[in-house]
Structure 1
């Protein structure tokens, strides 16, 4: 992979993780809730089916989507981990966040559904990277 892309990912990854941790570990759920509301309105404008616009489904999709960029950037920085590894890292990361929310953040609610959604997002990111790397002519690390 080109050095410029890897350098860019090395800068973007910690920035993205900082924003991610801020959203996931903020004492209040106001910011994440507002983000889910914004995503729901965006999906509605894009013509998403009514069933998808149910707030709990929008929240699930947001929790899936939130880890995909982290995994893609991480895979650019570190080539060795496979999609399986990234999925496991996503599970551990998500479980850790939910434990912190449960034990230290009174206004937040820790749920198993969030762990499932975040882990699915890590899987999606890992598979996306694996597919791109297998394309003919793809540059590997």
Structure 2
């Protein structure tokens, strides 16, 4: 029996949320194994002319948090009616706030930050807007195809 597209997307969604939970509730910062190498890459870029203001560790971490939550916004928004796309963004803000609160209360090696909530919510917004955009494109192309018939 061939798995349906729905089953495949559900498995991918479950895997994403499991990986997300593992990352955000890991007892120590998940970037610790690579933070030295990342700092070396940033230093190398600066030594080769990239301005200091352009890239730094916090900016890379902020961008990584945005990218981490793009699938969150996408997965939630794709399951909702198009007029409720904003629920994905609100859910990301709430979940992110709870993550930071949990890190503050239960994970002493983790550093909770308001900027993480902003980055995570921004990533979910990008994912939800991507769903809206794709739906608009497919709706428009379907209408054109129907009009030709």
TM-score bucket (shorter structure): 0.7 to 0.9
Q: Number of residue pairs matched?
A: 129
CA RMSD of aligned residues (A): 2.6
* Alignment equivalent of 2:111, drawn from 109, 112, 120: 109
Q: Does the aligned pair in 2 maintain the 1:39–1:58 contact within 8 Å?
A: no
For residues 25-68 of structure 1, give each alpha carbon's deviation from its aligned partner in whole angstroms, at most 9, with x where no partner exists: 10011x234467777859x6xxxx64442111111100111011
State the alpha-carbon separation in 2 of the partners of residues 16 and 61 from structure 1.
18
The equivalent of 1:54 in structure 2 is 56
The structure whose Rg is larger is 2
Cα deviations by residue, 1:72-124 (Å, 9 ceiling, x for unpaired): 23334x13263311110110110010010000000001110000000001111
Which residue does the alignment assign to 1:19? Answer: 19
Name the TM-score, length of structure 1 as normaliser: 0.78
Distance 1:129 1:52, change over 3 A: farther
Call closer, same or farther: CA 1:7–1:79 in 2, change over 3 Å.
farther
User: Are 2:92 and 1:90 equivalent residues in the alignment?
Assistant: yes
Gaps of 5+ in 2: 143-149
Contact kept, 8 Å, 2:77 with 2:85, in 1: the verdict is no
TM superposition score normalised by structure 2: 0.75
Counterparts in 2 of 1:35 and 1:20: CA distance versus 1, 3 Å: farther
